[in-house]
C-alpha cells in the first residue's frame, strides 16, 4: 500500500516538476512573442514609411523629368530620409517627457541629491537608450531601402564624418529636449512645446522633405536652424559627402550646442531652486 502511495507521490511530483518547467517555458514563450509582435510592428512601420517615400519621390522626380535635384537622386533622397527617420525615432521615449515627469512627480528632488550630475546622468541614459534602437532602425531601414531603390555609393569618409555630425546632433537634441522638460518647473503642461519642437524637426529637419529639395532662399534659412543640424546634416553627408558642407554643418552645430547648453544649464540651476525636499 505504502509502495503504491510512494509511486503515486513520485509520479505526482514528476508531473508537478514537468508542469512547472512547462509553465516556465510558456511564460518565456509569451514574453518573447510579446516583444516579437512589438518588434515586427515597429519594423513594419519603418518599411511602410520608406515604401511611401520611394513611391512619392519616384513619381515626383518622374513628373519633373529630372534625375537629380540639389545633387540628390531618388535613391539618395530615400536613403537620406531613411537615415533621418532612423536617427530621430531612435531617441524614443522622448526625453522631454521623461524630464517633465520627473519635475512634476518630484523624482528630480531625489536625483539631484545623489552623487552624480543630473544632466550627465540623463545624457548617458539618452545615448544608451538610442544606440540599440538606432542599430535596429538602420538595419531594417537599409534592407528596405536596398530592396526598394537599390544601393547608393557610401564612402568611409562619408560614414565617418556623418557619424561625427550624428553624435553632436544627439547632443543638440538632448539639450533642446532637456530645456523643454525643464520648463515643467514653470508651466503645467509642456506637451505643446514637445509637439511644436517635433514639428520643427519634421519641417526643417529633413524627415519628410530633404532640405536639398527646398527652394534656394528657404534652404539657406533651414540650414542655419538648429532642427536641420540634429539629424539631417549627418544623413545628407552620408549619402553624398562634401568636405565644405561638413565644415559648414559642424560649425553651425557647435554654435547651437553652445547656445542651448548654456540655456539648459541656466534653467536647470534656476529650476532646482524651486525644489523643496520634504523628509519622511
- Where on the chain is the footprint of another protein (CB under 8 A)? 30, 33-34, 37-38, 40-42, 44-45, 48-49, 51-52, 55-56, 59-60, 63-64, 69, 187-189, 191-193, 195-196, 199-200, 202-203, 208-209, 213-215, 218
* CB of residue 64 to another protein, shortest distance in Å: 6
Q: Which residues pair with 72 in a beta bridge?
A: 69
Residue closer to another protein (CB basis): 56 or 154 = 56
Residue closer to another protein (CB basis): 33 or 124 = 33
Residue closer to another protein (CB basis): 77 or 134 = 77
* CB of residue 92 to another protein, shortest distance in Å: 11
* CB of residue 59 to another protein, shortest distance in Å: 5
Residue closer to another protein (CB basis): 37 or 262 = 37
* CB of residue 240 to another protein, shortest distance in Å: 18
Report in angstroms the alpha-carbon separations of 51 from 39, 136, 177.
Answer: 18, 18, 30
* CB of residue 7 to another protein, shortest distance in Å: 37
Secondary structure of 26-43 in the HEC alphabet?
A: HHHHHHHHHHHHHHHHHH
HSE-up (13 A, CA, CB side) for residue 277? 9
Residue closer to another protein (CB basis): 113 or 191 = 191
Ramachandran class of 114: left when φ > 0, alpha when ψ lies in -120 to 50, beta otherwise = beta
Q: How many helices (H) and strands (E) does the chain have?
A: 10, 0
In the block, which residue shows the cell 536647470? 268
Contact 256, 226 (CB under 8 A): yes
102 CA to centre of own chain: 20
Spatial CA neighbour of 159 closest among 64, 89, 272, 246: 246
Report in angstroms the alpha-carbon separations of 144 from 45, 151, 163.
Answer: 11, 11, 21
**In degrees rounded to 5, what are phi and psi of residue 69?**
-130, 130
DSSP-derived secondary structure letter, 73: -
Residue closer to another protein (CB basis): 174 or 204 = 204
Residue closer to another protein (CB basis): 32 or 113 = 32
Report in angstroms the alpha-carbon separations of 74 from 56, 58, 101, 133, 152.
Answer: 10, 6, 41, 26, 10
* CB of residue 190 to another protein, shortest distance in Å: 9
User: Which residue spans within the chain are E strands per DSSP?
Assistant: none
* CB of residue 141 to another protein, shortest distance in Å: 15
* CB of residue 27 to another protein, shortest distance in Å: 11
Residue closer to another protein (CB basis): 171 or 207 = 207
Amino acid at each position: 500500500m505504502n509502495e503504491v502511495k510512494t509511486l503515486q507521490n513520485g509520479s505526482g511530483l514528476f508531473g508537478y516538476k514537468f508542469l512547472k518547467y512547462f509553465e516556465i517555458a510558456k511564460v518565456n514563450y509569451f514574453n518573447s512573442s510579446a516583444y516579437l509582435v512589438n518588434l515586427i510592428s515597429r519594423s513594419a512601420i519603418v518599411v511602410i514609411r520608406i515604401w511611401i517615400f520611394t513611391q512619392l519621390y519616384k513619381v515626383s522626380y518622374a513628373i519633373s523629368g529630372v534625375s537629380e535635384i540639389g545633387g540628390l537622386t531618388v535613391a539618395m533622397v530615400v536613403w537620406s530620409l531613411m537615415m533621418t527617420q532612423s536617427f530621430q525615432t531612435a531617441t524614443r521615449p522622448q526625453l522631454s517627457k521623461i524630464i517633465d515627469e520627473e519635475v512634476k512627480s518630484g523624482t528630480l528632488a531625489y536625483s539631484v541629491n545623489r552623487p552624480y550630475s543630473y544632466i550627465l546622468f540623463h545624457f548617458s541614459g539618452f545615448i544608451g537608450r538610442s544606440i540599440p534602437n538606432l542599430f535596429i532602425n538602420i538595419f531594417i531601414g537599409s534592407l528596405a531601402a536596398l530592396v526598394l531603390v537599390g544601393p547608393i555609393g557610401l564612402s568611409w569618409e562619408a560614414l565617418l564624418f556623418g557619424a561625427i555630425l550624428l553624435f553632436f546632433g544627439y547632443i543638440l537634441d538632448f539639450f533642446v529636449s532637456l530645456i523643454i522638460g525643464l520648463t515643467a518647473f514653470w508651466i503645467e503642461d509642456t506637451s505643446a512645446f514637445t509637439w511644436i519642437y517635433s514639428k520643427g524637426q519634421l519641417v526643417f529637419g529633413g524627415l519628410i522633405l530633404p532640405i536639398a529639395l527646398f527652394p534656394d532662399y528657404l534652404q539657406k534659412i533651414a540650414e542655419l536652424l538648429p532642427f536641420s543640424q540634429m539629424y539631417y546634416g549627418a544623413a545628407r553627408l552620408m549619402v553624398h559627402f562634401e568636405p565644405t558642407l561638413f565644415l559648414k554643418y559642424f560649425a553651425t552645430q557647435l554654435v547651437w550646442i553652445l547656445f542651448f547648453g548654456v540655456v539648459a544649464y541656466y534653467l536647470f540651476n534656476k529650476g532646482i531652486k524651486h525644489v523643496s525636499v520634504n523628509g519622511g
